[in-house]
Each structure stands twice: as structure tokens, then as C-alpha cells.
């Protein structure tokens, strides 16, 4: 089990992985936003808190409700929902690289549908990342099922 990778040659895959690793080593930030000053103080939302969401009844914990509509940062792994192998504007954020999106997909409370701000596509990432954006508790359908959460992403950066 693993993430679904777009079909590409091994040479192309090694090239993209190499570029990614070099950019991480150089401290490259995937997207620079004018919100970066306010983003640095965004509260961290972890997967334990997201897992408390009862996706069958739609009941969220009080702590989770307090963050609804707020700018937060969430760590995780990217599952692109587009064919473009370099830039993406929509992806799933999942808690681990082993979160297989095939059969069965992770439960809805373990997937966050990320729609990047229209002015800010981001590079695909193969390692752990932070996503900063406006968090919403709302059920969203996508090609892999349903997510209990949605986020308008402002910034994506390597997890440090």
C-alpha cells in the first residue's frame, strides 16, 4: 500500500525527487505568501484532533469547532488530485505516507481536501509538509471519496 503516483519514467521520477531534495536542502519554500507574517503564528492542528470528528454524525469536538473558519497549519503528506506532475492547485492532505487512497481510502476524518488559493499553486511534494490555510469543517466529495474537512491553502512548506 502507498500513495498513487502518476505514471512516469524512472529517469523523470529521479529527476523530480532530486529537484525536491535539493530544494529542501536549500531551504526552499514552496509558496511565498503576503500572509506569511500572520501564518507564522497560526495554531497547529494535529491529526488526533481531526480524528475526534465523528464523520458519521458530523459531530465535532469543541476544540475543533473553535478552529473552524480560522487560519491554521496542519502537517501531513500530499496526495495530488491533478495530472500535472509539477504544480498542483488541489490535493488531499493525509496523516502518513502509507495512507493508501485505493482500497479502502482513509476515513473522512483523516483526509483534508486542500484547494490552494487561486493565485498560489504549489509544487508537488513527496515528503512531509506543512499546509497553512483557512480550515473548514465541511464534508467535501472528491475522486477518492469524501473528506470531513476542507482548507483553502495559502502556503505549503517542507516539514521541519
128/75 Cα distance (integer angstroms): 7
Question: Cβ neighbours of residue 73 under 8 Å, at least 6 residues apart?
Answer: 39, 42, 43, 44, 45, 130, 131, 132
158/27 Cα distance (integer angstroms): 8
55/78 Cα distance (integer angstroms): 21
Contact 80, 114 (CB under 8 A): no
Of 159, 158, 160, residue with least CA distance to 28: 158
For the stretch 46-64, pLDDT in tens is: 999 999 999 999 999 999 9
For the stretch 5-26, pLDDT in tens is: 445 455 554 544 444 444 444 4
Q: What is the CATH number of domain 10-158?
A: 2.40.50.870
Proportion of the chain above pLDDT 90, given as a percent: 49
For the stretch 122-136, pLDDT in tens is: 888 889 999 999 999
Amino acid at each position: 500500500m502507498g500513495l498513487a503516483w502518476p505514471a512516469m519514467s524512472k529517469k523523470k521520477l529521479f529527476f523530480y525527487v532530486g529537484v525536491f531534495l535539493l530544494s529542501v536542502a536549500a531551504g526552499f519554500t514552496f509558496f511565498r505568501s503576503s500572509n506569511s507574517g500572520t501564518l507564522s503564528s497560526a495554531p497547529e492542528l494535529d491529526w488526533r484532533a481531526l480524528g475526534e470528528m465523528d464523520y458519521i454524525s458530523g459531530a465535532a469536538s469543541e476544540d475543533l469547532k473553535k478552529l473552524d473558519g480560522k487560519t491554521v497549519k496542519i502537517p501531513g503528506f500530499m496526495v495530488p488530485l491533478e495530472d500535472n506532475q509539477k504544480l498542483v492547485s488541489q490535493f488531499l492532505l493525509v496523516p502518513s505516507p502509507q495512507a493508501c487512497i485505493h482500497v479502502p481510502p482513509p476515513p473522512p476524518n483523516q483526509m483534508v481536501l486542500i484547494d490552494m488559493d487561486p493565485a498560489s499553486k504549489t509544487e508537488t511534494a513527496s515528503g512531509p509538509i506543512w499546509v497553512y490555510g483557512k480550515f473548514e469543517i465541511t464534508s467535501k466529495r472528491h475522486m477518492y471519496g469524501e473528506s470531513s474537512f476542507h482548507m483553502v491553502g495559502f502556503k505549503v512548506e517542507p516539514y521541519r
